[in-house]
A = this chain, B = another copy of it.
Amino acid sequence: MVKKEKTKRDNPLFVASLEKGVVLLEAFDEGHRRLGLNDLVKLTGLNKSAVQRFLHTWVALGYLSKNAETKLYRLTPKVMSLGYNFLRGERLVEVATPFLLDARERTGNSVYLGTLYDTSIIYLIRLPQRLLLLEGTLPGRRVPAFCGGRAFLSCLDDTEILSILDRSNRSAITPYTITDIDENMREIATVREKGFCISQQEQLMGEIAVSAPVRDLQGVPRAAIYISARITEWPPDRVESELAPIALETAGIISRQL
């Protein structure tokens, strides 16, 4: 991916000013809600005059707004529209939503749909049952695939999985995050055997999740569905006996309709 992107950037077709503009917009990430001119110079490596021009343009296009008092910029709700355009066009989302609602009702737990992008799982649908943590309720969240995407990864061949694991920043998110490549491969082998993946507190203390892959008719992995619960109420064996069959069944129904 990285190599491919480099080649594309060297191509004379590549519009460098579009990339710079996008880099500036992407700088408004989790840790950086509100940014000023100098923050953006530091974060993007662009010079001050370029940052000024791109800021002006994003404001004119409606994607950033400027606070008149603080002179700080922030994203506007307009950025939500792009995600909506993507979701609306995804047959997967359309097919999956009623079955996810059904799984939420039957289990009393939060149910999600996520897909692989580069080395991350991006959640497309999140149906929270209770509020564990705000991030847990928001679509568009990206989590590392090595610890949050083993059900999806288990459908790829080992070369591909190893490439993703290798390119991932495998820092531990909690004391329980499995970061080692060999251990990850063993976990994935277990997922292949059982058909589902149980992940315990790897991303959030107190949270346990069971996931199962969704493949289309050609067998291509398209997404994974997740049912997440509190580990205090749902110890691993209860998750395996009660939630895993529902996750498998839900993933299966969705798969057959793609």
Contacts and interface: CB of A to CB of B under 8 A. Distances in A.
Contact of A30 (B8, B17, B88, B115): B88
B17 A61 contact: no
- Identical chains bound together, number: 2
Contact of A134 (B29, B63, B94, B142): B94
A51 to B, nearest CB: 11
Given A30-B88, A77-B117, A97-B134, A139 B83 contact: yes
A249 to B, nearest CB: 18
Nearest to A33: B89
A140 B58 CA distance: 19
Given A54-B15, A56-B13, A86 B75 contact: yes
A128 B127 contact: yes
A29 B80 CA distance: 12
A76 B176 CA distance: 31
Contact of A14 (B8, B60, B93): B60
A247 interface: no
Contacts of A139: 80, 83-84, 139
Nearest to A8: B60
11 contacts: A15-B17, A19-B57, A21-B21, A76-B117, A77-B115, A78-B122, A81-B122, A84-B142, A88-B135, A127-B128, A139-B139
